[in-house]
């Protein structure tokens, strides 16, 4: 009898727990939907978590929630490209950045310069705005953002897994009984540490590129318009002078030809006379008629 009562009480308790769970589930679902709806409404209004507005643009919008590698290329024309490049270096220094590369070439009005700088990602927009305000004309500018959030998460997970595996091998190393076991464990530990160092270096490099953005600035000289040649006016005197010069030259040529004919003209005549005499001498005489 007592066993039957205990079973009955247990069944009632299970039934009550099931009813309570069924009543609480819709409430939890409604609460979750309400939170999701609130987040959707906030996004529709242009407000995101952490107090960031959707109208602020990609660099400032995602910087707090995503890991981005930001790069920019700006091309300008300036009267003095070297001076503009020096000003760009000053902007990077004032914003807490550094100079990565500088190239200056040319001379006089044909100078050109290329500057590659690194600035903190939090001051990326300030750097671009300051560069566009330099003394010169902006020809083109483009910004590229590469999202590496997933890659960093993957690297962190792989490093954590390898470090946990390293701890297990260290425990095995202390329990090894033979030299062969020690060598095998030591070889496995060496490979694990090499992988951990490689992944850690890759992770550090990626985080540095996320923390500091790269901006390339190329400055070329402003091309000065070439002066147009004046249209030559018609001058009769110059035309007459040119014609007279041509006539004199022609007469001089004819005179030179006549002199050459006078000097060397007798030679062909003498040759012709000799040929005639030779022909008559060789001609056979006709026999007299009988």
In the sheet with 137-147, reading across from the earlier edge strand, the strands are 98-105, 112-120, 212-221, 68-78, 137-147
Q: Are residues 94 and 197 in the same domain?
A: yes
Contact 196, 159 (CB under 8 A): yes
Residue 235 is predicted with a pLDDT of 77
Structural domain count, the chain: 2
Instruction: Give residue 103's domain range.
Output: 67-223
Indicate if the pLDDT at residue 189 is higher than 80: yes
Q: Return the DSSP state at 65.
A: T
Mean per-residue pLDDT, 211-227: 83
Residue 94 is predicted with a pLDDT of 94
Residue with the larger pLDDT of the pair 91 and 256? 91
Q: Is residue 245 part of a domain?
A: no
Q: Is residue 269 part of a domain?
A: no
Residue with the larger pLDDT of the pair 48 and 203? 203
Residue with the larger pLDDT of the pair 233 and 139? 139
Indicate if the pLDDT at residue 71 is higher than 80: yes
Mean pLDDT over each residue of the chain, to the nearest integer: 76
| Secondary structure of residue 230 in the 3-state scheme | coil
Contact 176, 182 (CB under 8 A): yes
Measured between alpha carbons, how far is 156 from 176 in angstroms, rounded to an integer? 30
Mean per-residue pLDDT, 27-43: 39
Q: Is residue 47 part of a domain?
A: yes
Q: Are residues 155 and 199 in the same domain?
A: yes
With residue 111 as reference, give the H or E element that holds it.
Answer: none
Q: Please, which pLDDT band fits residue 232 given cuts at 50, 70 and 90? A: low
Q: Are residues 52 and 147 in the same domain?
A: no
Q: Is residue 165 part of a domain?
A: yes
Q: Are residues 79 and 182 in the same domain?
A: yes
Mean per-residue pLDDT, 149-155: 93
**Beta-strand relationship, 212-221 and 68-78:** parallel
Indicate if the pLDDT at residue 225 is higher than 60: no
Task: Using alpha carbons only, give the angle 142, 68, 70 rounded to the nearest 5 degrees.
Answer: 30
Q: Is residue 249 part of a domain?
A: no
Provide the phi-psi class of 131: left if phi over 0, else alpha when psi is between -120 and 50, else beta.
Answer: alpha
Task: Using alpha carbons only, give the angle 213, 215, 217 rounded to the nearest 5 degrees.
Answer: 175
Summarised one tens digit per residue, pLDDT across range 115-149 is: 999 999 999 999 999 999 998 889 999 999 999 99
Mean per-residue pLDDT, 150-176: 90
Q: Please, which pLDDT band fits residue 240 given cuts at 50, 70 and 90? A: confident
Q: Is residue 258 part of a domain?
A: no
Q: Are residues 49 and 147 in the same domain?
A: no
| Nearest of 220, 161, 162, 222 to residue 188 by alpha carbon | 162
Beta bridge partners of 138: 76
Indicate if the pLDDT at residue 170 is higher than 80: yes
Indicate if the pLDDT at residue 177 is higher than 50: yes
In sequence order, what DSSP letters do the residues of 140-161 get, joined into one string?
EEEEEEEE-HHHHHHHHHHHHH
Indicate if the pLDDT at residue 6 is higher than 50: no
Contact 205, 116 (CB under 8 A): no
Q: Are residues 124 and 57 in the same domain?
A: no
Q: Find all residues with CB under 8 Å of 222, minimum gap 6, and list them.
A: 77, 78, 79, 137
Indicate if the pLDDT at residue 179 is higher than 50: yes
pTM (2 d.p.): 0.52
Q: How many CB atoms lie within 10 A of CB 127?
A: 25
Residue 48 is predicted with a pLDDT of 37
Q: Return the DSSP state at 231.
A: P
Provide the phi-psi class of 97: left if phi over 0, else alpha when psi is between -120 and 50, else beta.
Answer: beta
Q: Are residues 95 and 147 in the same domain?
A: yes
Q: Are residues 77 and 127 in the same domain?
A: yes
Q: Which of 223, 241, 270 is the last residue of a domain?
A: 223
Measured between alpha carbons, how far is 192 from 189 in angstroms, rounded to an integer? 5
| Secondary structure of residue 2 in the 3-state scheme | helix
Q: Are residues 44 and 179 in the same domain?
A: no
Lowest mean pLDDT among 28-32, 79-83, 153-157, 212-216: 28-32
Q: Please, which pLDDT band fits residue 178 given cuts at 50, 70 and 90? A: confident
Summarised one tens digit per residue, pLDDT across range 266-278 is: 777 777 778 777 7
């Amino acid at each position: 009898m007592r066993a039957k009562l205990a079973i009955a009480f247990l069944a009632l308790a299970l039934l009550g727990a099931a009813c309570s769970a069924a009543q609480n589930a819709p409430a939890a679902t409604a609460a979750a939907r309400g939170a999701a709806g609130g987040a959707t409404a906030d996004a529709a209004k242009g407000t995101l978590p952490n107090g960031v507005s959707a109208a602020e643009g990609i660099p400032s919008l995602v910087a707090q929630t995503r890991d981005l590698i930001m790069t920019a290329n700006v091309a300008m024309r300036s009267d003095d490209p070297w001076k503009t490049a020096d000003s760009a270096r000053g902007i990077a220094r004032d914003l807490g950045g550094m100079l990565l590369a500088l190239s200056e070439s040319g001379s006089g009005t044909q100078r050109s310069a290329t500057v590659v700088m690194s600035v903190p990602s939090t001051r990326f927009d300030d750097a671009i705005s300051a560069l566009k305000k330099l003394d010169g004309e902006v020809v083109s500018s483009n910004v590229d953002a590469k999202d590496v959030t997933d890659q960093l998460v993957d690297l962190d997970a792989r490093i954590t897994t390898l470090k946990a595996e390293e701890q297990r091998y260290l425990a095995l190393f202390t329990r090894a009984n033979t030299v062969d076991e020690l060598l095998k464990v030591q070889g496995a530990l060496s490979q694990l540490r090499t992988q951990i160092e490689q992944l850690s270096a890759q992770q550090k490099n990626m985080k540095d590129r996320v923390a500091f953005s790269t901006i390339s600035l190329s400055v070329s000289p402003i091309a000065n318009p070439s002066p147009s040649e004046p249209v030559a006016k018609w001058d009769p005197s110059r035309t007459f002078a040119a014609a007279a010069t041509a006539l004199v030259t022609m007469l001089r040529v004819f005179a030179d030809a006549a002199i050459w004919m006078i000097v060397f003209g007798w030679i062909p005549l003498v040759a012709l006379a000799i040929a005639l005499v030779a022909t008559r001498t060789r001609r056979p005489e006709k026999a007299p008629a009988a």
